[in-house]
Amino acid sequence: MPEQIAELKAQPGGDIIVSGPNLASTFMRHRLIDELRIYVNPVVLGQGRPLFEAPDVRMNLRLEETRSFGNGVVLLRYSSDSA
């Protein structure tokens, strides 16, 4: 699978969007992520799943953009040098 995703990334066109902690963790393990866009919602739930389920992966991230929306949501856009 990593080879096929790398081939898709090499083609011209749009972004490949990945959602969910399991799939994102798989992409992280294979160093296939160039950018993370994390949306923070102003809700406290008290419990939940981790944002990413890849404790064995370390990514160096650089904050590229922050954006606030009228509903209180905040976008954090990071670039990654691990891909």
The enclosing domain of 52 has a CATH number of 3.40.430.10
SS3 76: strand
Task: Report whether pLDDT(65) > 90.
Answer: yes
Residue 46's domain spans which residues? 2-80
Q: Percentage of the chain with pLDDT > 70?
A: 95
Per DSSP (E only), the strands in the chain are 35-40, 61-68, 74-80
Distances from the Cα of 29 to the Cαs of 3, 23, 75, in angstroms? 13, 10, 24
Highest mean pLDDT among 14-18, 34-38, 49-53: 34-38
Confidence band of 4 (pLDDT split at 50, 70, 90): confident
Count of domains for the chain:
1
- At residue 83, the pLDDT reads 52
Distances from the Cα of 32 to the Cαs of 35, 36, 38, 54, 80, in angstroms? 9, 11, 17, 13, 10
Mean per-residue pLDDT, 27-49? 86
Confidence band of 72 (pLDDT split at 50, 70, 90): very high
74, 67 Cβ separation under 8 angstroms:
yes
